[in-house]
Structure 1
Amino acid sequence: MTLTVENTERWVTVDGHKLRYHEAGSGAPLVLLHGSGAGVSGWANFGNNLPVLAEHFRCLILDQPGFGASGRPEVYERNYLRIAADAVIGLLDELGIEKAHLLGNSMGGGVAAMLALDHPGRVDRVVLMAPGGVGVNVLGPEPSEGIRRLMEYNANPSDERAMGFLRAMVFNEATLTEELVATRLEAAADPRGQAALRDAYATFFNPKMAESLPLWARLKSLQHEVLMLWGRDDRVTPVEGALFPARQLPNADLRIFSRCGHWVMVERKAAFERAVIEFLQHGL
């Protein structure tokens, strides 16, 4: 059976908000957490990887609160990473899942790292793909080109600015097929999604919602086996940022993909899927 948005779509209510997720496959549970950006959703990030990964795992691709079709609090009163991490715990509770693997891209990588730190017993192995808040950029400009493009889009959403963001995601612009671009631009034009993205990012820059310790300062406490995947030409979370977590995480391996930007799961799809399956089934 061909896996589609419609036949994999499921719903769960967490803290009074309906969250959409996509489910396929059987075996060890694997929660996939998308990044941020114009027109983002769980399916937009991982839908093309689902057929392969679902042959090995019970895959749960979550639309995090406010993104895709998921609901959200009207006002964010905490750092968004905490809101999203709690939503994942709520999903696991509702489905009766005690422990799951986590795979997070960009912002979703930050959510996965925070969840593993705060709820270690609920997490098995962790894949962090160019994770937000985990890397430390010491040489390149701050914010990075990709984050700057996203902030420009947040300030004044338009198709032109959304395209600027999408181009910063990839090494080879041929990756941005007409279908991919059309789908992302249509989703990016939704005012509800624009507001959710803007509000989530506002929590990252609000001093009142800052963590007592940033994620990168807590990495030595993360004892899980971790596989970090990074594109060599990432313009959102530059690859130099991988060096600090590669040293600090006690049980982590780092793999760098050539000819690849921020979207390892798109530009190096087959290699990404092989690496994830090998690691989650056999460990480091």
Structure 2
Amino acid sequence: MTLSVENTTRWVTVDGHRLRYHEAGTGAPLVLLHGSGAGVSGWANFGNNLEVLSQHFRCLVLDLPGFGASGRPEVYERNYLRIAADAVLGLLDELGIEKAHLLGNSMGGTVATLLALDHAARVDRLVLMAPGGVGVNILGPEPSEGISRLMEFNANPTDEKAMGFLRAMVSNPATLTEELVATRLKAAADPKAQAALRDAYATFYNPKLAEPLPLWARLKQLTGEVLILWGRDDRVTPVEGSLFAARQLPNADLRIFSRCGHWVMVERKDAFERSVIDFLNNGL
């Protein structure tokens, strides 16, 4: 049976909010966490990888609160990363899963790192794909081109601004197929999705909601096995950040993909899937 949005969709209620996730496969549980951005959802990030990964793992692809079809608090009273991390823990609790592998892309990688630091007993192996907040950008401009394009979209959510953001995600513009663009633009045009994105990012820049320490300053505390995946041509989280993360994490391997931007799972799909399967099955 071909996997689809419809036949993989499941629902769970966490902290009074209905969250959508997609489930496929059997075996060790693997929670996949999407990034942020225009038109994002769990399926938009990982739907094309699910067919392969679900042959090896019980894949759970979550729409984080406010993204995709998931509900959200009316007001974010905490840093959004904390809200998202609690949603993942709630999913595991509701499904009776004591321990799971985590795979996070961009903001999802940030959430996965936070979980691994604060709830190490619940996290098995960790895959971080160009995670935000984990590397340190010392060579490129700040904010990066990709984040600048996202901020422009947040301020003026038009199709043109959304396309500017999408182009910054990839190394090869041909990656942006008509189907991918149409799907993302349709999702990005939803006013509720736009508000959720703006509100989440507002918490990142609110000093009252800041973490006591930046995530990168805590990396040496994360002693579990970690695979770091990064695109050489990433214009959202520049690749030099990967070297900092790899030096700080005690048990981490780093793989840098040529001909690849921020979306490793899209531009280097086969190599991404092979890397994830080998690491989660065999470790470092």
Deviations, residues 65-98 of structure 1 (Å, cap 9, x unaligned): 0000000000001111110000000000000000
Aligned partners of 2:243, 2:143: CA distance in 1, in Å?
18
Describe how 1:94-243 pairs up with structure 2 within 5 A: 94-243=94-243
1:34-45 equivalent positions in 2, closer than 5 A: 34-45=34-45
Alpha-carbon deviation of 1:243? 1.2
Structure 1 residue 104: deviation in Å? 0.1
Aligned residue identity for 2:38: A
Amino acid at match of 1:96: G
Are 1:73 and 2:73 an aligned pair? Answer: yes
- Report how many aligned residue pairs link the two structures: 284
SS, match of residue 261 in structure 1? coil
Deviation at 1:28, TM superposition (A): 0.1
Q: CA deviation at 1:147?
A: 0.1
Q: What does the per-residue CA deviation read over 1:216-272, in whole Å, with 9 as the maximum and x for residues that have no partner?
A: 000000011000000000000000011111100000000000000000000000000
Matched AA of 2:182: A
Task: Please tell me whether residue 259 in structure 1 is matched to residue 247 in structure 2.
Answer: no
Q: Distance in 2 between matches of 1:159 and 1:209?
A: 31
Matches within 5 A, 1:13-24: 13-24=13-24
Distance 1:251 1:10 in 2: 34
Residue 30 of structure 1 aligns to a residue in which SS?
A: strand
Gaps of 5+ in 2: none
Instruction: Output aligned runs, 1:85-96, within 5 Å.
Output: 85-96=85-96
Residue in 2 that maps onto 1:57: 57
Aligned position for 2:247: 247
**Structure 1 position 197, deviation (Å):** 0.3
Alpha-carbon separation, structure 2, partners of 1:258 and 1:271: 11
Look up the SS of the partner of 1:37 in the other structure. Answer: coil
SS at structure 2 position matched to 1:164: helix
Paired position in structure 1 for 2:48: 48
Match of 1:271 in 2: 271
Counterpart-to-counterpart distance in 2, 1:87 and 1:94: 10
% identity of equivalent residues: 86
> In structure 2, how many angstroms separate the alpha carbons of the residues matched to 1:165 and 1:265?
17
TM-score (norm 2): 1.00
> Which runs of 5 or more structure 1 residues have no equivalent in the other structure?
none
| One-letter code aligned to 1:131 | P
Query: Residue 171 of structure 1: CA displacement?
Result: 0.2
Moved over 6 A (4+): none
CA distance in 1, matches of 2:156, 2:196: 14
Aligned-partner Cα distance in 2 for 1:41–1:203: 19
Query: 1:30-77 CA distances to partner (integer Å, 9 max, x unpaired)?
Result: 000000000000000000000000000000000000000000000001
Instruction: State the distance in 2 between where 1:3 and 1:236 align.
Output: 30
Q: 1: CA distance between counterparts of 2:154 and 2:228?
A: 28
Matched to 1:145, the amino acid is E
Name the CA distance, whole Å, in 2 between partners of 1:97 and 1:67: 23
